[in-house]
């Protein structure tokens, strides 16, 4: 009985992780695209 009670929160926790990873991934992609735009602007200013 004890092991059955313990598996429930783990399953719920595993369902939470992908959404947190998705948020981190979207945040990273947003920052990297902003960095890419800044780099392009700097390269244009050099020319």
The token pair at 17 is 């992780």
Chain segment 33-42, per-residue pLDDT in tens:
999 999 999 9
Residue 25 pLDDT greater than 90, yes or no: yes
Mean pLDDT score, 15-43 = 91
Q: Cα(29)–Cα(5) distance, rounded to whole angstroms?
A: 38
Model confidence at 4: pLDDT above 80: no
- Look up the pTM and report it: 0.51
Residue 46 DSSP symbol: H
How many C-beta atoms lie closer than 10 Å to residue 17's C-beta?
Answer: 9
Residue 27 has a pLDDT of: 96
């Amino acid at each position: 009985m004890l092991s059955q009670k313990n598996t429930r929160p783990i399953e719920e926790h595993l369902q939470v992780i992908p959404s947190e990873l998705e948020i981190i991934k979207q945040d990273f992609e947003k920052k990297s695209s902003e960095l890419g735009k800044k780099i392009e602007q700097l390269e244009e200013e050099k020319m």
